[in-house]
């Protein structure tokens, strides 16, 4: 019995060797074929779970995550930033509500609800797509903690079904001071949107933040997840029923975060609510008359705190790639996917439809103010779309007469990330705290003033004008970035280039989370 078994095992073993050898040879042939010619419809390589960690992106992600801690308002229970302390503990008191949490917008002490909600939505999206990769490098819990710091604030800011506080602080008074948040004494008035002064854009963005965050917290705190989803539904109903731009309702907000329209936020919020609920009414919303009115299919746009169309198109492509037959076969859904591909084609430098809006070194460049927000956000969308393609075995996209692979999209994304991290003509890391050469004069009050300095509103300006580097490192701050000629002036008074923002942190965290390990299989949100 034993001899026969060994003989049989030996024959099977040789057969197995021959099969494996043939499979390897075939695999090599297919790989070579793909490398030289990716034919239409040919399946892309199947990605695996998080693979090898790319150290530079892991280090950069660790740095980037810290700026979210730097920006936290309120009572800092587990404070990770030695030069920060409790601040704005009475925020919300005029309305008898606790708005002490949330995050300061940039180098100032304002809480602007519109970009803060966008920060939460992007942070949620990055966790949902790349939480497994964040976990590998111990950044998942910090990301969840920072997200909850914002959503706790947003929950309290939603006073009732049709009332949302969208700003804490007076920007004119705030910008007349240069002080640490721990020491500020200026008044902190509140601004709200309601049925008389609607704000579909800010209300819908806040709904998107709540809906996406509800998915993040669903597996770890179902009660909190349910609370967020409840607020998301109410806010979306308010935004949709009482239509109007908050910039038109409240003209005073136009100076800082003027909204150019609310249709994109309505589609963005409905898309997130569909993912969070699987309620087909939200799918019908984006594929029906509202999609026809607001989607602007076929016209690529830049993803930002003000315009969510490109993000919406990529997010809805997720359904096209992985959804059930009753949704993924929708002709209107295909329009979103085609529009997303048009965005990708515009980003790829060798595409026939590539945008010319980039520096000589290849950085996407759209605006002098906060130049880095667009390339980083665009690169994040490219990584996400690349991984959608990989996970669905989609080999390529067509850009007019040329075709491009997931690897092409990832290459573009890494080029933007690497530029930010120092691979640029200035050899400067625009991510503070990463590398050896980064901005030392960041336009940020708390970072510029020594912890033991006793300054008030006005006399603190000596620190703005000081010729010495910041005494505190605003670790993880993504500064505004270079001019079109790729120069950067490291000066605190150069707010155009040297001021970081919280929403910039969200997109750089998202991008780095997608790059920190080799591409992972896209997971279901539910």
Q: Any residues with CB less than 8 A from the CB of 119 and at least 6 apart, and which?
A: 103, 150, 502, 503, 505, 506
Q: Interhelix angle for 222-241 vs 263-277, to 10°? A: 150
Sequence-distant (6+) residues with CB within 8 A of 368 are: 483, 484, 496
Count CA atoms closer than 13 A to 382's CA, side-chain side. Answer: 32
The angle subtended at Cα 396 by Cα 134 and Cα 296, nearest 5°, is 85
Residues with catalytic roles: 443
DSSP assignment of 346-396, as one string?
A: HHSTTSTT--S-B-TTS-B---STTTTHHHHHHHHHHHHHHHHHHHTT---
Residue pair 167/111 in contact by the 8 Å Cβ criterion: yes
| DSSP code string of 418-480 | HHHTT-STT---SBTTSSS---SS-S-HHHHS-TT----TTTTHHHHS-SSPPSS--TT-B--
State the angle between helix axes of 140-157 and 55-70 in degrees (0 to 180), rounded to the nearest 10. 30
- 3-class secondary structure, 244: coil
- Coil/strand/helix, residue 180: coil
- DSSP secondary-structure letter at 323? -
* CB-count exposure of residue 26 (10 Å: 0-12, 13-18, 19+): exposed
């Amino acid at each position: 019995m034993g001899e026969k078994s060994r003989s049989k095992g030996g024959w099977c073993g040789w057969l197995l060797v021959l099969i494996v050898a043939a499979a390897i040879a075939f695999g090599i042939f297919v790989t070579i074929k793909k490398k030289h010619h990716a034919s239409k419809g040919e399946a892309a390589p199947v990605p695996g779970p998080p693979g090898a960690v790319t150290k530079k992106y892991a280090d950069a992600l660790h740095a980037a995550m810290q700026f979210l801690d730097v920006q936290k308002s309120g009572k800092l229970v587990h404070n990770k930033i030695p030069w920060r302390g409790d601040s704005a503990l009475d925020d919300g008191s005029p309305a008898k509500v606790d708005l002490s949490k949330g995050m300061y917008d940039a180098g100032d002490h304002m809480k602007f609800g519109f970009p803060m909600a966008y920060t939460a939505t992007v942070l949620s999206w990055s966790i949902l797509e790349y939480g497994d990769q964040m976990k590998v490098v111990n950044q998942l819990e910090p990301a969840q903690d920072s997200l909850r710091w914002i959503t706790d604030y947003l929950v309290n800011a939603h006073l009732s079904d049709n009332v949302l506080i969208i700003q804490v602080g007076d920007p004119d008074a705030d910008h007349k001071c240069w002080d640490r948040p721990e020491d500020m004494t200026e008044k902190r008035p509140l601004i709200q949107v309601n049925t008389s002064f609607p704000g579909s854009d800010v209300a819908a963005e806040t709904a998107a933040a709540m809906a996406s965050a509800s998915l993040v917290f669903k597996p770890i705190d179902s009660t909190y997840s349910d609370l967020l989803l409840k607020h998301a539904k109410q806010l979306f109903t308010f935004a949709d029923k009482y239509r109007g731009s908050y910039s038109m309702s409240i003209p005073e907000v136009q100076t800082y975060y003027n909204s150019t329209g609310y249709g994109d936020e309505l589609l963005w919020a409905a898309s997130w609510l569909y993912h969070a609920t699987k309620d087909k009414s939200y799918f019908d919303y984006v594929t029906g008359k509202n999609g026809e009115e607001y989607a602007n299919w076929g016209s690529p746009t830049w993803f930002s705190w003000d315009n969510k169309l490109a993000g919406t198109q990529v997010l809805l492509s997720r359904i096209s790639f992985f959804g059930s037959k009753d949704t993924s076969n929708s002709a209107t859904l295909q329009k979103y996917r085609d529009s997303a591909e048009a965005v990708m084609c515009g980003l790829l430098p060798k595409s026939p439809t590539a945008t010319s809006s980039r520096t000589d070194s290849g950085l996407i460049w759209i605006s002098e103010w906060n130049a880095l927000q667009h390339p980083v956000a665009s690169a994040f969308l490219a990584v996400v779309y690349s991984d959608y393609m990989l996970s669905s075995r989609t080999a390529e996209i067509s850009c007019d007469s040329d075709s491009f692979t997931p690897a092409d999209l990832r290459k573009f994304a890494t080029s933007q990330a690497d530029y930010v991290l120092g691979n640029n003509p200035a050899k400067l890391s625009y991510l503070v705290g990463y590398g050896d050469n980064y901005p030392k004069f960041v336009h940020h009050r708390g970072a510029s003033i020594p912890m033991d300095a006793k300054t008030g509103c006005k006399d603190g300006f000596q620190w703005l004008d000081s010729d010495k580097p910041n005494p505190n490192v605003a670790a993880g701050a993504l500064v505004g970035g270079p001019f079109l000629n790729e120069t950067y002036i490291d000066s605190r008074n150069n707010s155009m280039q040297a001021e970081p923002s919280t929403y910039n942190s969200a997109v750089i965290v998202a991008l780095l989370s997608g790059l920190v390990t080799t591409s992972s299989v896209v997971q279901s949100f539910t």
